[in-house]
Amino acid sequence: MTVIDTMSARTELPGQDLPRWRRAVLKVGSNLLAADGGGLTSRYAEALAAFIAASHAEGREVVLVSSGAVAAGRALLREHASGGGLAARQALAALGQAPMVALWQSLSARPVAQVLLTHDDLRNRRRYLNARATLRELLQLGVLPVINENDTVSVDELKLGDNDNLAAIVAALVDADLLLIASDVDALYSADPRRDPAAVPIMQVAALTHEIVAMAGDSGSAAGTGGMRTKLQAAAKAAAAGIPTALFSGRETATVQALQRGQLRGTLIAAASTRLQARKYWLRHAPAAPGRIRIDAGAVKALAGGRVSLLPGGVLGADGEFHRGDLVEIVDVDGAAIARGLSQYGAVEVRRLAGRHSREIDGVLGYSYGDEVVHRDDLVSIDRPVASGQEINA
């Protein structure tokens, strides 16, 4: 595959096969929800909502990262919206969150849940696991999560002002197979097509080089705060996590409908490796906490046999000190390392839960972070590849 595949800008973009996916993160920019620079409109959101519904009908899962809160707040309070200060924008974001979520609920037959995140939520390991567990539960319940930055309190993030990078982080958070970025441009171009009539669209990107990043422009509308550069930054984050990114126009109904048929009329940016490879590499090589979890022979056998979750019943105890969300080693009775994973519970909690059934967690601790000590999505065997399988039960 070449680094860049291009075609004439004067012809309609042809379709190319989307990567196979079961779970995707769809980012929708402000330019699609406030297309005329005013209040929110369903003009372009309807086709995107139909794509989400069709995906759900096929058994797929979609997490929506939606901009538009600031634009909605500005439209509701026009006479006070002239100031461009941070506090003013935060107030507009708070005001606009409700109508933004209401727009998506009006277009969805499924319940919609609002999830407000900051980058700090996803850097902090405990809050990362809490966000991950919440989104996982919402998807299991068949709910459409609508995620936005918590602009009201996220000072640094609001200054940066883009949900593209947040979408990439969320894609890694929920183990998505694909990141979809809908905007008001149909592809990445070799130059700004608004200024250079010779600019041609780039259909496929195998690697995000400095040359390609240099092609990116800025936001094309006052309603939006991101631009092609932030989209490429997001694609780079997703690629590092093993997730490909598709850039396409959310203003073209035919383009959005083509997604339902597995066809992309836009730019496809390849992942650096497979999602599982990227995840396994990080779990195997990232620095681990000084503590460790000891497991019995039955749990060792189950771990060796496939991709599993570690439940309390297979745990003998915990050595050292570690906290919820820490990466820890999992060892057998002789102290030999068997696996590594992100612990859902701290060392003190693991000691109290050792040998218990999952249904006893709430009774023992007075709360529960889930049935698993280490979820299978956060665990990797040290000795062999992880395959599909069952959970480790007591």
* 394 within a domain of the structure (yes/no): no
Q: Do 297 and 223 belong to one domain? A: no
Domain-ending residue, one of 255, 272, 289: 272
**pLDDT class of 156 with cuts at 50, 70, 90:** low
Q: Is the pLDDT of residue 392 over 70?
A: no
Q: Tokens at residue 217, please?
A: 């422009």
Please tell me the predicted confidence (pLDDT) of residue 157.
41
Full 3-state SS string of 325-340:
CCEEEEECCCCCEEEE
Q: What's the rounded mean pLDDT across residues 189-205?
A: 85
Q: How many CB atoms lie within 10 A of CB 226?
A: 24
Q: Is the pLDDT of residue 63 over 60?
A: yes
Domain-ending residue, one of 219, 244, 272: 272
**pLDDT class of 390 with cuts at 50, 70, 90:** very low
Which domain CATH number covers 115? 3.40.1160.10
Q: Do 246 and 299 belong to one domain? A: no
User: How many domains does the structure of the chain reveal?
Assistant: 2
**pLDDT class of 198 with cuts at 50, 70, 90:** confident
Q: Do 50 and 147 belong to one domain? A: yes
* 389 within a domain of the structure (yes/no): no
| CB neighbour burial string for 298-325, b if at least 16 within 10 angstroms, e if fewer | ebbebbeebbbbbbbbbbbebbeebbbb
Please tell me the predicted confidence (pLDDT) of residue 280.
79
For residue 32, what are the contacts with CB-CB under 8 A and spacing of at least 6? 44, 45, 48, 182, 183, 184, 250, 251
Q: Do 255 and 319 belong to one domain? A: no
Q: Do 237 and 285 belong to one domain? A: no
Residue count of the chain, please give it.
394
* 268 within a domain of the structure (yes/no): yes
Please tell me the predicted confidence (pLDDT) of residue 39.
80
Q: What's the rounded mean pLDDT across residues 232-244?
A: 90
Please tell me the predicted confidence (pLDDT) of residue 54.
97
Please tell me the predicted confidence (pLDDT) of residue 45.
96
Q: What's the rounded mean pLDDT across residues 142-163?
A: 71
Q: Is the pLDDT of residue 25 over 50?
A: yes
Domain-ending residue, one of 219, 239, 272: 272
* 106 within a domain of the structure (yes/no): yes
Q: Give the range with max mean pLDDT: 65-79, 268-282, 302-316.
A: 302-316
Please tell me the predicted confidence (pLDDT) of residue 383.
53
Q: What's the rounded mean pLDDT across residues 194-207?
A: 87
* 390 within a domain of the structure (yes/no): no
Of 34-48, 199-213, 256-270, 379-393, minimum mean pLDDT range: 379-393
Q: Do 112 and 246 belong to one domain? A: yes
Q: Do 75 and 217 belong to one domain? A: yes
Summarize pLDDT for 306-318 with one digit per residue, the tens.
778 999 999 999 9
Q: Rounded CA gap, 371 and 130, in Å? A: 14
Q: Do 228 and 332 belong to one domain? A: no
Q: Rounded CA gap, 29 and 249, in Å? A: 10
Q: Do 163 and 21 belong to one domain? A: yes
Q: Do 126 and 252 belong to one domain? A: yes
Q: What is the pTM of this model?
A: 0.75
Is the distance from CB of 302 to CB of 314 less than 8 angstroms? Answer: yes
* 197 within a domain of the structure (yes/no): yes
Summarize pLDDT for 86-120 with one digit per residue, the tens.
677 778 888 889 999 999 999 999 999 999 987 66
Q: Do 264 and 293 belong to one domain? A: no
For residue 62, what are the contacts with CB-CB under 8 A and spacing of at least 6? 23, 24, 25, 26, 52, 55, 56, 144
* 391 within a domain of the structure (yes/no): no
Which domain CATH number covers 346? 2.30.130.10
Domain region containing 19: 4-272
Q: Do 302 and 229 belong to one domain? A: no
For residue 78, what are the contacts with CB-CB under 8 A and spacing of at least 6? none
Q: Rounded CA gap, 96 and 200, in Å? A: 37
Summarize pLDDT for 336-351 with one digit per residue, the tens.
999 999 999 999 999 9
* 30 within a domain of the structure (yes/no): yes
Summarize pLDDT for 371-381 with one digit per residue, the tens.
999 998 889 88
Q: What's the rounded mean pLDDT across residues 133-159?
A: 80
**pLDDT class of 393 with cuts at 50, 70, 90:** very low
